[in-house]
Amino acid sequence: MTRNASEARWGGGVTLLLAVFIFLPLLAVLLNALLPGLFFGELQFNKITILGELFHRPLWRQSLWNSVTLAGGAATLGTLIGGALAWLRSQWDFSAGRLLDAAVWVLLIVPSFMIAQGWVLFAGAGGIANQSLGMPWITSFIFTPAGLTFVMALSKFPLAYLAILAATEWNVRQFAQAARLCGAKPFTVWRTVYLPLSAPSIIAGWTLVFMDTVGDFGLPAALSTVYKFPTLPYSIYSALYQSPVRFDMAGVLALYLVALLAIAMAILIAALRRSRFDFLNARAVQTVKKRPRKAWLINSGVCAFLLLSAGVPLLTSVAVSFMERMGNGLVWSNLSLHHYKEVLFGTDGDHRLLSFWHGLLHSLLIAVIAAVISMVIGFIVAYVITFTESRFKSYLQLFSILSLAVPGVVLGIGYIFIWNQKWLEPIGLHLYGKPALLVIAAVAGAIPYAVRVQLGSFANLSSTMLKAAAVQGASIGVRMREIVLPLARQSILIASLAAMGTSVFDLALSSMLQPPNFVLMPLVIDRAFEFANYGYATAATVISGLAVIAVILTVQTAGKRLFGKLDRQQGGTE
């Protein structure tokens, strides 16, 4: 009875915390669509017909259409690309395979607005493709709905790649062999055996790409300087920064955005429920990769694709950062360190130096604090889910996934509604306009990564030790601290670094929750880009990116040394 009560307290505590961080802001956004002014002391009631105004307002209607077509097209193309690469990676052993895995994680970590800026600098009218390579047709292609879908698919395909690659770990070739014995041709075997068995992972990959694309704020924000392509996230942001502020409009648009995400999740759940997973039996073996006969052909093709998907936007940003003047093209006489000197040392009367260093310091500090908090919360959540019978397990699973699915722009509105209340001032919880709210938002965004990484590690731990400790009277806190923490410390470190890396360059939350006179790195880069100061923006991107990588590598190296020292001390004691 005491054990169950303790588990209930821990499970209920973290569930309440995640509800405040994630579910309550989302609920506030949905309520505001029908009850505008609810959170500002002016209770009104919108008729249900306001939901139909989306089809009568040209901007709203176009934003919805752009979001649906962009997400649907990117999901389809990204899943095709990710599926093809996952099949190659799972079946063949080739040299570019490790490079492919590394590029996938780079594309996942680098914010979409930075990738979009790289494409703008490459394909714009005055970009590298037109000025230096003499390819004006790239400009006319990229800045069209089809071109934007292509760019988005190139940046989002890693989600489908990882989902489908995970499903290829086990080989069930006995089904394919039975089909071949019945006279089926290779394509028929693939269509009737492998494709149906892979359907759940394919649908999961498609859904992940769709959800990530439909809630993406970075692409339209970066493109707004050269190409007008309104989407639901960007229109929500615009509604909050027009005069007068239209919270009701933002709420209605957010409601439609959440509805699209709910439809995508419903498709995924329905597909999984109708699929069978019992094809893995005792005859299933792990897939053994083969060495292809023409490995050079696969290596060349994969490298060419990675150059297009990751190399073009990232290398373009690096190249532009070294150009004295972008209009003069990529020639030796135009290469200079001017923009790096401007970022690092500033110029006379230039206040951007202060903005850069303050922005980098603020963003890193918020990311580090959020990483520590999300690591602690994620550790407790993963423990409750894995090792307890708490009735809150299903809620914890839901809330940890919900934050991953709901776009930052929607959570940002919810935080404004919840934490901008006058009655919170006397108790010191009026957090809107304060850095503390940015920390809470960063924690909400980092929790899914912290939970997922630690769940994977906890799955390898035996519960026998924990049960034995419980029998001896050890509390749940003691079990977490003395048993699980030492065994899972490497995964905890990785979870913390992943959480920090995803929090530094969050443009959506930074734009919506920036405190007055509080500089943040994503906004420094975005505003320099918005005012066409491309050299400064790209140099700031390169320097801040290297700074984040340096912090991650330093912490990781120090952690490994500390863990090794602790292991040696423990071994000497024993």
Looking at residue 174, its pLDDT comes to 60
Residue whose tokens read 């994503």: 522
Among 216, 195, 211, CA closest to 84:
195
- pLDDT at residue 13 is higher than 50: yes
Average pLDDT of the segment spanning 285-299: 73
Burial class (CB in 10 A: 0-12, 13-18, 19+), 225: middle
- pLDDT at residue 353 is higher than 90: no
Name 405's Cβ contacts closer than 8 Å, sequence gap at least 6: 211, 215, 261, 265
Task: Give the Cα separation of 315 and 307 in Å (integer).
Answer: 9
Looking at residue 278, its pLDDT comes to 47
Average pLDDT of the segment spanning 485-500: 77
What is the homologous superfamily of the domain 1-30+351-574 according to CATH? MetI-like (1.10.3720.10)
DSSP code at position 143: T
High-pLDDT (> 90) share of the chain, %: 6
Contact 314, 118 (CB under 8 A): yes
Contact 454, 488 (CB under 8 A): yes
Query: For 25-76, how does the pLDDT look when each residue is reduced to its tens digit (9 = 90+)?
Result: 888 877 777 776 666 666 565 555 556 666 777 877 888 888 899 999 999 9
Q: What are phi and psi of 294, to 5 degrees?
A: -110, 65
Torsion, Cα 400 168 265 410, to 10 degrees, reads: 50
Among 64, 410, 71, CA closest to 208:
71
- pLDDT at residue 574 is higher than 60: no
Task: Give the Cα separation of 122 and 195 in Å (integer).
Answer: 37
- pLDDT at residue 9 is higher than 70: yes
Average pLDDT of the segment spanning 374-388: 84
Looking at residue 150, its pLDDT comes to 92
Looking at residue 169, its pLDDT comes to 60
The per-residue pLDDT of the chain, averaged, comes to 79
For residue 110, how far is the Cα from the chain centroid?
Answer: 9
Looking at residue 545, its pLDDT comes to 86
List for the chain the helix, strand, coil content (%; round to 5).
Answer: 75, 0, 20
Q: Alpha-carbon torsion 408, 163, 205, 78, what sign?
A: positive
Task: Give the Cα separation of 373 and 380 in Å (integer).
Answer: 11
Strand ranges inside 134-245, DSSP E: 170-171
Higher pLDDT, 163 or 336: 336
Looking at residue 282, its pLDDT comes to 45
Average pLDDT of the segment spanning 315-337: 83
Contact 432, 25 (CB under 8 A): no
- pLDDT at residue 305 is higher than 90: yes
- Please tell me if the domain spanning 1-30+351-574 has the same topology as the one spanning 58-321: yes
Helix (H, G, I), strand (E, B) or coil at 278: coil
453: enclosing H helix or E strand: helix 435-458
Average pLDDT of the segment spanning 391-395: 79
In the chain, the amino acid numbered 107 is L
Average pLDDT of the segment spanning 69-93: 89
Task: Give the Cα separation of 44 and 522 in Å (integer).
Answer: 36
- pLDDT at residue 562 is higher than 60: yes
Looking at residue 279, its pLDDT comes to 47
Higher pLDDT, 428 or 400: 428
Q: Tell me: domain 58-321, CATH 3.40.50.970, correct?
A: no
DSSP code at position 395: H
Average pLDDT of the segment spanning 262-272: 74
High-pLDDT (> 70) share of the chain, %: 80
Q: Alpha-carbon torsion 198, 200, 202, 205, what sign?
A: negative
Q: What are phi and psi of 407, to 5 degrees?
A: -65, 155
Q: Across-strand partners of 171?
A: 285
- Where are the domains positioned within the chain? 1-30+351-574, 58-321
Average pLDDT of the segment spanning 382-391: 81
Burial class (CB in 10 A: 0-12, 13-18, 19+), 196: middle
Average pLDDT of the segment spanning 413-430: 83
**pTM reported for the whole predicted model:** 0.78
Q: Lowest mean pLDDT of 175-184, 282-291, 416-425, 550-559, name the range.
A: 282-291
In the chain, the amino acid numbered 348 is D
Looking at residue 281, its pLDDT comes to 46
For residue 151, how far is the Cα from the chain centroid?
Answer: 17
In the chain, the amino acid numbered 229 is F
